[in-house]
Amino acid sequence: MECHLSVRRHVVQLLVSIALMLPMAASLAEDAVVLVTRSDSSVEDISSLDIRKAYLGISVTIGGNSIRPIRRQEDDRLNMIFLQSVIAMSQKSYERRLISMMLKFGTPRPIEVDSGEELLEQLASSPGAIAYMWKSEADAERRVKTIRVLWQER
Amino acid sequence: MKSRRRTESTRGRRLAVLAAIVLSVGMSVGSIARADSPHDVLLFLSLEGFEKFSAADPAQEEFDVRSTASFLYTYNSDRFRFLGEYIWSDTEAEMERFQGAWVVDDKTMLWFGRFHTISNYWTTEYHHGQFMQTSISRPGLEEWEDESGPMPSHITGAWFEHEFALERQSAINFGLSAGKSPRFEGQELVAFDILDPSSGHDIAVTTRLVYRPDILSMNQIGLTASHNDIAVASDSNPNLVDLNLIRQKTYGLFTNWKWEDWRLSSNWVYFDIEMQYGAGIVDDEFFLGYIQAEYEVNDAWTLFGRTEFGEGEDDSIYLQLLPAVIAHRQMLGVRWDFADSHGLTLEVADTSRQGANLMHDHFKELRIQWSAIFP
């Protein structure tokens, strides 16, 4: 009888632990960064190399669409992950590189936005517009489609 | 005895005017956001304190404060690009670049207007963006025309640029330009003035071939060549009497390479010069070069040094016409980057200026500079 009670207690403890960890697990699942475009864009995929090129000011055309990169300014962690994992540069080096290209050839810098709503407006303005965002944001937004997972927390 | 080139009040007034200009431009800059706009702007500011010392020749000693604002504007559409660069300082206000481009395709551009000479490595790397160059000073070889630079810095004409993509993300860039070269007046080259087209300037043709092992990095090595027919204002300087034309040919090799925290940039240029006097032709040849090394201690601190050297320049007839040209310099410096877009730099140097009558002027230099970029 005591043995049954002990097993039952352990099962209950386990279930409670799992229940407590579920929100944490959901939160971890959100820690992914994806590349998105507008939902009706013909851009279905883009290589890591082309993403780097586009964000470094080098012309990239996919399926007849000129790729227009968009940067987000309001989320420091998102920006840091994107620069380290995708562009492979520090913030300082990246900014200097963009300024250098503009100074030398008048190369346009990526569009910068300060809010999620502004980002969606910019994405909607061009079929070749691309941006990075948290996966949870992308999943909740019908106006965008995910074309690539850029980073996932392990 | 130190010569104070400007009184404090004069300098104060100039700085106030400059500040007012900068403020108004800054407000305009702020109104052009980097949202979905074909327009983009950058504002470079710098304030430099400069002192020259010479125990042997006190006449060489000098103290000065220089403030500079450089404004860059670009416009981009699918097939057209415009770039304008205007500089204000307490000694000049000038449209340095005014160029438009037909964007033929992703790899090809055809520029028209006034642009910086494509065969000058340093010039086309940093232009007037003082904040972008680690050091305060420019190498003497690549000084601007009005700072006694030996090569033309500004050409007015056309410039073709094409990139040949190679395997593994490497590329070769080819550039060719032709246009109006500067004219020699007094003790310096004077760039062609688009508002004074009949000022008697001649032709310059320049080219460069650059290999980039990875187009995603800034590493590059390149060859340059130029042919500059430099007309001479013979009545502007007694040393120019009877000199009708300076035919200057240059051949250069440059590189910019980064290994982890180290960076090396260098340019070596051979000058083949024909001085065409009424009485005959006098040939001249020399070579000038520099190597600059930089070590990034961390994200904020950078140590750097540069050596500038030459061969045959000491007795060059052409360089005697440019007594202020820097012939040799050994320089060391440190730069502190702070607040994302500000830099504070200190530089010391042992320098020789060409001087007059084959006598170099020797002095030490101390420079300190604040530079910044907005937005």
B80-100 in b/e form (b: 16+ CB < 10 A) is ebbbbbbbbbbeeeeebbbbe
Out of B35, B72, B218, name the one closest to residue A111 (CB).
B35
Give the range of the structural domain holding residue B316, as residue numbers without chain letter.
Answer: 76-365
Question: Is the confidence at residue B263, as pLDDT, over 80?
Answer: yes
What separation in angstroms does the CA of A35 have from each of A48, A117, A132, B48, B114?
10, 16, 4, 44, 40
CA A130 to chain centre: 10
How distant is the Cα of A136 from the closest Cα of chain B, in angstroms?
A: 25
The model's confidence at residue B1, banded by pLDDT at 50, 70 and 90, is very low
Q: How far apart are CA B367 and CA B242, in angstroms?
A: 40
Tell me the residue ranges of DSSP E strands in B297-360: 301-311, 326-338, 342-353
Out of A49, A90, A102, name the one closest to residue B299 (CB).
A90
CA B199 to chain centre: 23
User: What number of other Cβ atoms are within 10 A of residue B60's Cβ?
Assistant: 18
Q: What angle do CA B191, B197, B202 make, to 5 degrees?
A: 55
Q: How far apart are CA B101 and CA A106, in angstroms?
A: 10
Report ipTM (2 d.p.): 0.85
Out of B78, B129, B169, name the one closest to residue A103 (CB).
B129
The verdict on a CB contact (< 8 Å) between B35 and A118 is: yes
**pLDDT (0 to 100) of residue A24:** 45
Beta-carbon pairs below 8 A across chains A and B: 65
**pLDDT (0 to 100) of residue B256:** 96
Contacts A101 to B, Cβ<8 Å: none
Out of B40, B126, B216, name the one closest to residue A102 (CB).
B40
The pTM of the whole model exceeds 0.90: no
Q: Any CB–CB contact under 8 A between A99 and chain B?
A: yes
Q: Which amino acid is at B84?
A: G
Q: How far apart are CA B266 and CA B257, in angstroms?
A: 9
Question: Is the confidence at residue B35, as pLDDT, over 60?
Answer: no
Contacts B78 to A, Cβ<8 Å: 66
The verdict on a CB contact (< 8 Å) between B81 and A106 is: yes
Out of A59, A106, A112, name the one closest to residue B34 (CB).
A112
Question: Is the confidence at residue B7, as pLDDT, over 70?
Answer: no
Average pLDDT over residues B33-59: 83
Residue with the bigger pLDDT between B140 and A74: it is B140
Tens digit of pLDDT for each residue in B307-359? Answer: 999 998 888 999 989 888 888 999 999 999 999 899 999 999 999 888 776 67
Among A76, A103, A126, most B C-beta atoms within 10 A, so best to mutate, is A103
Tens digit of pLDDT for each residue in B143-186? Answer: 999 888 999 999 999 999 999 999 888 999 999 999 999 999 99
**pLDDT (0 to 100) of residue A12:** 61
**pLDDT (0 to 100) of residue B195:** 77
How distant is the Cα of A126 from the closest Cα of chain B, in angstroms?
A: 10
Among B216, B302, B335, B341, most A C-beta atoms within 10 A, so best to mutate, is B216
Residue whose token pair is 């300014």: A73
**Is residue B6 included in any domain, yes or no?**
no
How distant is the Cα of B303 from the closest Cα of chain A, in angstroms?
A: 17
The residue of chain B nearest to residue A90, with distances taken between CA atoms, is: B299
Q: How far apart are CA B151 and CA B352, in angstroms?
A: 18
**Is residue B9 included in any domain, yes or no?**
no
**Is residue B129 included in any domain, yes or no?**
yes
Number of structural domains (chain B) is 1
The verdict on a CB contact (< 8 Å) between A95 and B340 is: yes
Question: Is the confidence at residue B20, as pLDDT, over 80?
Answer: no
**pLDDT (0 to 100) of residue B17:** 54
How distant is the Cα of A8 from the closest Cα of chain B, in angstroms?
A: 57
What Rg value do the Cα atoms of chain B yield, rounded?
21
Q: What angle do CA B65, B70, B71 make, to 5 degrees?
A: 155
Q: How far apart are CA B356 and CA B343, in angstroms?
A: 36
**Omega before B375 cis (within 30°)?**
yes
The verdict on a CB contact (< 8 Å) between B126 and A109 is: no
* Domain boundaries, given as residue ranges, for chain A: 1-30, 31-152
- Residue ranges, chain A, pLDDT below 70: 1-30
Average pLDDT over residues B286-296: 96
**Is residue B190 included in any domain, yes or no?**
yes
Residue with the bigger pLDDT between B1 and B146: it is B146
CATH at B114: 2.40.160.10
Question: Is the confidence at residue B238, as pLDDT, over 50?
Answer: yes
The model's confidence at residue B121, banded by pLDDT at 50, 70 and 90, is very high
Tens digit of pLDDT for each residue in B203-225? Answer: 999 999 999 999 988 899 999 99
**Is residue B52 included in any domain, yes or no?**
no
**pLDDT (0 to 100) of residue B106:** 85
* CATH of span A31-152: 3.40.190.10
A131-150 in b/e form (b: 16+ CB < 10 A) is bbbbbebbeebeebbbbbeb
Out of A90, A104, A111, name the one closest to residue B36 (CB).
A111
Q: Put residue B340 in one of left, alpha, beta given phi > 0 → left and psi -120 to 50 → alpha.
A: left
**Is residue B13 included in any domain, yes or no?**
no
The verdict on a CB contact (< 8 Å) between B76 and A106 is: yes
